[in-house]
A = this chain, B = another copy of it.
Amino acid sequence: MAPKRTERAPLPPDGDPKHAARATRSAGRRMRSLLLDGASRLFKARGLAGTSISDIAAAADAFPSQITYYFRTKEALFVEAACRDMLYVARSAEQAALRAETPRDYTCALVEAVTSTDSVAFFAEALTLTRRRADLAPLVERTIERLHAEGLRAYAGQIERHGWNTLRDPDATSRRFWALAIGVMVEGYAMGRSAEELAYEMLRVLGDQATTNAGARLRLVGGDTTSEGEMQS
């Protein structure tokens, strides 16, 4: 069952056992990553039912036994590929949003990055699958926790860097963003919406997340209402 073909190739000629172990580990990581890449591409195009283990093995130039060795089942591979994709899209959204100079641009950059790929819909499919597969839940939980923790960190950093006023608790802001992204994508994909329509719908339901200091004038009037006040920037 061990993926011999790929583990053997990178063995160093001197036979040093430490080098050999390290080379085996890194070859293993490479093969895992290749399998995840192929799986992600195929699952997104054809869904879980439309993709077989041998399709994925062929796409990664591997043996089907390597998939069962690294991931055990097709469902576990589906969930892991979807979780990885979701964290990638979150990171690329944050990168894109770093260049924003206003809260509105920041929200637009996030929304555009998220709606221009099908990674969120893929992740939502994995979430749906996990509902009936409690054994796959821990990875999904860790992914969601990481998504929220990294989202919070990125948002709080952006707020501080620009001196913006967040319209609600930054943690709730980040959680709300991802819950809305999932909801809008699940709904929109079922309705066959285009990336532009998805982005429009997401901006529409998301509303403002923060204001510039120019908006702060207003907040001062409200006294104890400031912490959750929301207005146009």
Which residues of B sit under 8 angstroms from A181, Cβ to Cβ? 183
Chain A, interface SS category: helix
A143–B187 alpha-carbon span in the complex (Å): 11
Q: Is the CB of A131 within 8 A of B190?
A: yes
Contacts A205-B176, A230-B230, A230-B231 given: A127-B221 contact, CB under 8 Å? no
A150 CB to nearest B CB, Å? 16
A130: contacting residue among B131, B167, B190, B201, CB under 8 A: B190
Q: Is the CB of A231 within 8 A of B232?
A: no
Which residues of B sit under 8 angstroms from A221, Cβ to Cβ? 218, 221
A192–B176 alpha-carbon span in the complex (Å): 19
Of chain B, the residue at the smallest CB distance from A50 is B132
**Is the C-beta of A144 less than 8 angstroms from some C-beta in chain B?**
yes
A79–B127 alpha-carbon span in the complex (Å): 18
